[in-house]
Amino acid sequence: MSRRPISPIALNTLVQRALQASGASATAAEAMAKAVVAAEMDGIPSHGVAYAPIYCEHVECGKVNGKAEPVVQQQRAGTLSVDAGHGFAHPAIDAGLPALVKAAQANGVAAMTISRSYNCGVLGHHTERLAAAGLIGLGFTNAPASIAPVGAKKPVVGTNPFSLAVPNISDGTAAILIDQSASVVAKSEVTAHKRRGEALPAGWALDAEGQPTTDPDAALAGTMMPAGGAKGFNTGLMTELFAAVLAGAHLGVEASPFSGTAGGPPGTGQCFIAVDPGGFGNNDYAGGLSRLIAAIQQEPDVRLPGARRQSNRLRHQKEGLQVDESLLSRVEAIASAS
């Protein structure tokens, strides 16, 4: 695979141009370009430039309303809801997050749901923003059904990630960042293997008959393996309850695919819960967190969740990015069509 160097600023500008050429508003294009660059910076290419042509295609075909204006409603002192209007999830999250932070700081705990939404990319990027505000951030996002209950063949829930960002009060960073799907691996990784013509590792997926497969096409026509068997399916079910049922969004079995042009808007959802560590009395949050981290790191070569992303981010800030040449060319072609 041929790769080409590009600066984060240049990549951001390119993706914005492509999205606006496809019909997205300047606000939506800015939010999505930032998300694409952030994924590349963190070493998560499956959610980076690889998604840019898909975002453009979905604006053009109507799976995403590229000019949607999110509507934020404060339902109660500690609860908010955002109607994404079948637009991108990122602008909807951007619209509601300041009010969520304010509500959590005032009440100790607050929650925000988002409906009529779309793929929110790297979920941890959103919970990390809550940690930057000094809050414990918990996030859920559902996806089109791709995981069957253990022993079944028909998918019921999506890969349905959840994320937990734990703030380091002293410097506004995420001391711990957990971001994982209910499946063994994100479905975008299967798509990436298909694009590269590579077989899947064993244990990632099942075919339509419920048999293990390493063929990406058979996997995409079948189901993803839940991480930890029934425990993984239950994790996906928990996310479905928060991000779809509570949010009033489409269930995974009701949502159109995030890939391709078939179906209308997916209409999936998100839920974010923000907790102020200072809202529970003299609990010595900083001291307890410090002791916990020390216990995890007491043996050599143990990495805290989220540490690899931080390391990749710092490295790419110094060295710049190396992006798949064919993907960049596709995005450039879309941008030049404006």
Q: What is the pLDDT of residues 196-247, one digit of tens each?
A: 889 999 989 988 888 899 999 999 888 889 999 999 999 999 999 999 999 9
Q: Where are the beta strands (DSSP E) in the chain?
A: 3-6, 71-76, 79-83, 109-117, 136-141, 162-168, 173-180, 205-206, 212-213, 223-224, 268-275, 321-324
**Mean pLDDT confidence for 100-109:** 98
211 touches 203 (CB < 8 A) = no
6-17 confidence digits (pLDDT tens): 999 999 999 999
- Residue 314: strand, helix, or coil: helix
Tens-digit pLDDT profile for residues 272-295: 999 999 999 888 999 999 999 999
**DSSP result, 224-293:** EPBTTTHHHHHHHHHHHIIIIIITTPPPTTTSPPSSSS-SS---EEEEEEEE-GGGGSS--HHHHHHHHH
The larger pLDDT score, comparing residue 192 to residue 333, is at 333
Given the residues 22, 25, 46, 163, select the one marked as catalytic. Answer: 46
For each of the domains in the chain, give its residue range(s) and CATH number, in order of start: 3-183+226-282+319-336 (3.30.1370.60)
- Cβ contact 135:103 at 8 Å: no
pTM of the model: 0.94
Q: Per the residue annotation, which of 189, 193, 240, 250 is the catalytic one? A: 189
- In the prediction, which pLDDT does 297 show? 95
- Mean of pLDDT over the chain: 95
pLDDT of residue 31: 98
**Is 46 among the residues known to form the active site?**
yes
Q: Which residues does residue 206 pair with via DSSP β-bridges, in sequence order?
A: 212, 223
Asked about 86 being catalytic, the answer comes back as no
Catalytic residue among 25, 40, 47, 193: 47
